[in-house]
Each structure stands twice: as C-alpha cells, then as structure tokens.
C-alpha cells in the first residue's frame, strides 16, 4: 500500500491556542462578570465564568478592569465625591465595554 507519510510529520508541540471568537461566549462571560463580582451568580455559573476567565485572556483583562473600576468607585464614594475626570474615565470605559459587547 502507498506510504502516507506526508501527514504526521512536522507537527510540533501544541502552541498556545488563540481565543476563538464565538467558541466560548465571551459576551456572556463579560456580562456575567459583573454579577460574578457582586457574588450574585449561582455556584454553577460562578465556576463557568471563572473557568472562562482562566482560559480567555481578553475576558480576564476586561474582568480585571472591572475590578479596578469597582475599587475606584467604592473608594471615591467613601471619600467626598468622585472627581469629574475619574467619573468621565469610568463612564467612557463602561461605554467602551458595552460597545465591544454589541460587536459580538
């Protein structure tokens, strides 16, 4: 029989797998991230979002941004009032997130 040696050779170690759009629902993960932050998710959903954040760098970055924003908002609420620049930054970040979500 013919030797089929063209396949099988040359496949090196598996590299990092780039996030595939649509494979895991990033939009849902990001939407749920807010509930996840607030601890409002059911344990099952919680694990699902956490698993997604661990394997999806884009969502993880967004999630960390959310954490930072939340901390900023909390801090600025405790102290007097949020500076207008901070509030504008937060609002633009949030609208950026919404825009990105709508692109999916």
The pair of structure tokens assigned to 52 is: 């997604």
How many residues touch Zn ion under the rule CB under 5 A: the total is 4
Binding segment toward Zn ion, per CB under 5 A, in 5-13, 20-28, 82-90, 92-100: 20-28
Least gap, CB of 32 to Zn ion (angstroms): 11
Using N-to-C axis directions, what is the helix angle for 26-38 and 84-103, rounded to 10°? 140
Q: Each residue of 38-72: b (16+ CB within 10 Å) or e?
A: eeebeeeeeebbeebbeebeebeebbeebeebeeb
Please tell me the total number of residues recorded for the chain in this structure.
104
Is the CB of 21 or the CB of 83 nearer to Zn ion?
Answer: 21
Using CB under 5 A, which residues numbered 52 to 71 contact Zn ion? 56, 59
Least gap, CB of 26 to Zn ion (angstroms): 3
The pair of structure tokens assigned to 73 is: 């908002």
Least gap, CB of 103 to Zn ion (angstroms): 13
Q: Does 26 bind Zn ion (CB under 5 A)?
A: yes
Contact between residue 52 and residue 59 where contact means Cβ atoms under 8 Å apart: yes
Is the CB of 41 or the CB of 56 nearer to Zn ion?
Answer: 56
Binding site for Zn ion (CB under 5 A): 26, 29, 56, 59
């Amino acid at each position: 029989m013919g030797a089929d040696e063209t396949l099988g050779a040359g496949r090196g170690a598996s590299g990092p797998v780039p996030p595939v759009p649509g494979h895991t629902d990033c939009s849902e993960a990001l939407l749920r991230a807010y509930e996840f932050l607030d601890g409002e998710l059911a344990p099952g959903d919680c694990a699902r979002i956490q698993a997604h954040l661990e394997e999806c760098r884009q969502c993880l970055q967004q999630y960390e941004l959310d954490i930072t924003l939340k901390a900023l908002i909390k801090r600025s609420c405790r102290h007097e009032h949020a500076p207008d620049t901070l509030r504008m930054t937060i609002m633009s970040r949030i609208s950026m997130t919404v825009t990105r979500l709508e692109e999916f």
